[in-house]
A and B are shown apart, each in its own frame.
Chain A
Amino acid sequence: MLSIAVQCNPPLKGINHRCAGAFLTDDSEVYLAHSGKIAGGRKGIGKTAFVNSYPHGNWREVQWPDGQESEMIVIGRVDGKRLPAHIGQFVRQVEKFKKAISTGKQQKVTVPAKSTYSPEFGGRKRGYRVPGNVESDCDHGLVVNALAEYLKKAAFGNVGNDRARDLYVLSKSGKLRFLFEAKTDLSTSSIYQGVGQLVYHSTVTPAAKRLLVLPGVPNAKTRAVLDAIGIDVLTYRLDGARPVFKNLKEVLT
């Protein structure tokens, strides 16, 4: 028998803050969004717990027509080709959260001592976004999850993520082998931010290799700078909703 994992129910008309679903617009596109209000009839399942368990969601500040402000998870563009994949990932994220609560294995969002990996839906950490990347940020989860799957299958080590880091791989002895930060556009702002994240986190916990995951090859000048500061670039393209990594084997050697 099938069961309901999550409801995303925008009101038929007007504003209803009690509904978890909403359609958002940035004055050009329309997006499906969720408030994070998760119900499940079990102790521990609720919005606060879900929000805390899901820092990698594509959280955005929303201004309502009645003047209120709140944060919502942007699931995807309603007429976007990858909307089914984006919805699928969001549903799996909620399902995983509920399962973790019911089995008492809810992950803490602090940096773990050992590697853990929570499949993510999309977007980056809360508040890390710049306006204009709403849709591409929905792909973030697709990219990170696909990369995590590959790394797990290839048995590169213990694959994990946490609130601060998109993805990392620990060696058997627990040392940080690879640290990944994924961006869904090639803007200067995104690249600076990725560099900052990689440098910051690898300073706190030294990583053998730091990789910036990008949807294309940055220009020669940027590549030279990244090379000089010891950051490798892993590039990908989206084949439908499936990320295809171009130089994965090369950068992991």
Chain B
Amino acid sequence: MFQAEVKLEFVRRYCPPGGGWHVLVDIDPSEEGRTGGERKSEMAKHRQHLMHEAAGRACQELESMGAEVGGKRTRWFTRYGLPAIEGDRDIVAFHKVRRVCVIAEAEGVSGGQPETKLYKAIGQIVVAASGVCPPGWRTTFVLVVHGREIADHLGRVTAFTRLGVSALSLSDTPQKDRWLFQDPLLPKLLFGEVRVKKAEKTAEAKT
């Protein structure tokens, strides 16, 4: 799965708009193969073509599910009466009934070493986790990856749960998805088995 497909599958499996989630997804031009100069070899051209197609398909499916792809972030938060989340996070999802906010960074198949983009994603999620969480929401941070090597690399840092960060290795089928490490309440929060009271204080929402 390319990065855009990872985002699509995460939304589809864990925070689908049809299940009451408001979802904002950021698709970067690099995910569409629109950065990095002209590809000269056939292999590079083919990879770029596949990326472009995958990103287009992912955007279309996300939108048809009811997710917002790109666009003005501030306007989106205002439109749905949601607290603004700073930064261009890959995925921001709110469930108003459950009072849950999911902030996710996703990594998929890419050229180069598997840890290359992972470090950047870790940096992004750590910075996000250090920010102010919206009061009254249970905010949770997830790193979503696809691919054995990148999952193995990420799986070594289970101590990230101390930072409130969970990690999911996305598989080709939902049944084979694997939490590498996680906030113990996360699956219950995602699937509505646990709800957060609206009046909850900020500090409690972060824990």
Contacts and interface: CB of A to CB of B under 8 A. Distances in A.
Interface of A: 26-27, 61, 63-65, 67-69, 125-128, 131, 189, 191-197, 199-200, 203-204, 225, 228-229
Interface of B: 35-37, 39-44, 111-113, 116, 118-124, 126-127, 130-131, 156-157, 159-160
B153 to A, nearest CB: 9
8 contacts: A61-B112, A63-B44, A64-B40, A127-B116, A128-B116, A189-B120, A192-B120, A195-B122
Given A67-B42, A69-B43, A194 B123 contact: yes
Contacts, number: 75
A174 B37 CA distance: 46
Given A67-B42, A69-B44, A127 B122 contact: no
Contacts of B160: 203
Given A203-B160, A204-B156, A196 B116 contact: no
A194 B120 CA distance: 8
A132 B88 CA distance: 21
Given A192-B127, A196-B126, A203-B157, A128 B119 contact: yes
A228 B41 CA distance: 45
B37 A27 contact: yes
B189 to A, nearest CB: 24
**Central interface residue in B44, B123, B124, B157, by most chain A CB within 10 Å:** B123
A203 B156 CA distance: 9
A61 B39 CA distance: 12
A191 B87 CA distance: 14
A64 B157 CA distance: 39
A126 B114 CA distance: 11
A183 to B, nearest CB: 11
Contacts of A199: 122-123, 126
Given A128-B119, A131-B36, A229 B44 contact: no
A126 B111 CA distance: 12
B184 to A, nearest CB: 19
A67 B120 contact: no
Contacts of B111: 61, 127
B130 A229 contact: yes
Nearest to A127: B112
A192 B41 contact: no
A223 to B, nearest CB: 12
Given A63-B44, A69-B43, A69-B44, A197 B119 contact: yes
Given A63-B44, A203-B159, A229 B127 contact: yes
Given A196-B119, A196-B121, A225-B130, 7 more contacts: A127-B113, A196-B122, A196-B124, A199-B123, A200-B157, A203-B160, A225-B131
B40 A63 contact: yes
